[in-house]
Amino acid sequence: MRERISHLLKSLFVPAGSGARQSGKNRPVLGVEPLENRLTPTVTAFGPASDFHVDIDANETVSLGRTDNFKLRVTADGNDLPVQAAASSVEKLTITANHNVANSLDLSGIHLADFVSLNQILVKLDAQDTFNRGAGWTAAGKETIDGQRYAVFTQGNATLKVTDFAQDTPPPTAARGILASLVRIKVKRKAKLDVRVSYADTGAIKSQFRSPFQQPAFRKISVSVKDGNGDGVADTVVLTARKGRKTFTRQFAV
């Protein structure tokens, strides 16, 4: 009896760690939870309607316009960004694409009948970018901002200012060349990409045709123009796209 009472007292007062060591099977296992892989967006749209910004950081095809529910539409490589600004409330747009990568920017979807408050569009490009300002703009000289020269255009109460590379361009005949952009259209409720070709000097549409590369089969779809016959005038549309690890290219003389 005394032995049983002694054993009971020892079990009550002996520290837990002094007994037999825990078996490895019962020890807690520490682990590291893997973090989710997230891609940094290459096109961001942000800011109030009074000063809205679109930043393009990589090789992208970007177009702006109006959605079916009358909001500002920013489309990057065929995908709409979640922009909530009403088209009628946008006052100033600043688009920055001068990151030394080849981008294609299309503003032909900006119609002032929808963007009734828009008074200024500032477009910052570099020499590798292609740009379609759309129809209806009238040349209004040059302006220097922060040491950079901009070509100025007007339409109604709105002013468009675009980085000017006139000093680096070929002879004036190149102004008769073309610009090309990708535009998304709906065909039987499905989104399709068309190639829109416009005159570089007026912005008027020359032609439009279905892109041979469509999402989701292809990604990183881009369009550019070049001088195909060496006369100093851009006359050829070049389409590139990725499928898996392969890059595909198609050219069209227009």
Provide the residue-wise pLDDT of the chain in tens; the chain has 254 residues: 556 555 555 555 555 555 444 455 555 555 555 544 444 568 899 999 999 999 998 788 999 999 999 999 999 988 999 999 999 999 999 999 887 788 899 999 999 999 999 999 999 998 888 899 999 999 999 999 988 899 999 999 999 999 997 754 444 444 468 999 999 888 887 888 999 999 888 888 889 999 999 998 998 899 999 988 878 888 999 999 999 889 999 999 88
Distance CA 105, CA 182 (A): 9
d(CA 202, CA 113): 20
Task: Work out whether strand 190-199 and strand 205-210 pair parallel, antiparallel, or are unpaired.
Answer: antiparallel
Contact 218, 207 (CB under 8 A): no
Closest CA to 65 of 97, 121, 111: 111
Nearest to 246 by CA among 219, 208, 212: 219
Q: Give the start-to-end residue ranges of the domains of the chain.
A: 43-168, 175-253
Residue 179 φ then ψ, to 5°:
-125, 155
What is the four-CA torsion angle of 154, 155, 156, 160, rounded to 10 degrees? -50
**Pairing label, strands 120-124, 158-163:** parallel
- Per-residue CA distances from 36 to 30, 33, 39, 169, 179 (Å): 19, 9, 10, 46, 40
Sequence-ordered strand ranges (E) for 52-189 = 52-56, 61-66, 72-76, 79-80, 92-96, 104-106, 120-124, 130-132, 138-145, 148-155, 158-163, 178-187
pTM to 2 decimals? 0.53
- What's the pLDDT score for residue 254? 85
Q: Residues near 57 by Cβ (< 8 Å), separated by ≥ 6?
A: 42, 43, 44, 99, 101
